Amino acid sequence: MSRLLPAPRRLTRGIAAGLAVPFLAGLALLTLTPTRVEERMPDLLDLVLSTAHRIGWDWLDFTRLEILANVLVFVPVGIFAFVLMPRRVWLLSVVLGPAVSLGIEIAQRLALPHRAATVSDVIANSSGAVIGVVLAIACTLLFAPRRPAARTLETP
């Protein structure tokens, strides 16, 4: 399997780790504070919805936008998990995103009574994380440099 999914270069892992730290800090601020996004940035949500409706996406309402945002925000979680996990345990990257999502929802339920902890959020977040892992695998298969196969010495 290591030939099919080679480990990323040290530089790639370093960049991923450098991006993952502020991303996860932002994710924590987004999900583990008492105020919901729609309370902090109502004008942004109105702008997104009105723009979507102007271009003909009348099907997009607040609920669907929230689900879409939950999916999209967790795509990087899956990518970072796959890139940073050792290849011998790469399958754990598929489980890490849902585990993070479940942890966030449990923390919201127990410590943040003004936040809505829902199963649909866990499903949307988990879907985004799995999409991220699939994207990372696809990019690895398409773009990762391959090591040449070991040659066997033939005896005459």
Element (H, E) at 43: helix 42-54
Q: How many other C-beta atoms are found inside a 10 Å radius of the C-beta of residue 80?
A: 24
What is the pLDDT at residue 4?
A: 76
- Measure the CA–CA gap between 77 and 104, rounded to whole angstroms: 13
Q: How many other C-beta atoms are found inside a 10 Å radius of the C-beta of residue 94?
A: 19
Q: How many other C-beta atoms are found inside a 10 Å radius of the C-beta of residue 148?
A: 5
Q: How many other C-beta atoms are found inside a 10 Å radius of the C-beta of residue 153?
A: 4
**Tell me: the pLDDT tens digits for 23-59?**
999 999 989 988 777 677 777 878 888 999 999 999 9
- Measure the CA–CA gap between 33 and 27, rounded to whole angstroms: 10
Which range is most confident: 102-116, 118-132, 140-154? 118-132
pLDDT-wise least confident of 28-37, 52-61, 92-101, 110-119 = 28-37
Look at residue 155 and tell me whether its pLDDT is greater than 60. Answer: no
What is the pLDDT at residue 116?
A: 84
What is the pLDDT at residue 115?
A: 86
Residue 89 per-residue DSSP state: G
> Of all residues in the chain, what percent are helix, strand and coil, respectively (each to 5)?
70, 0, 30
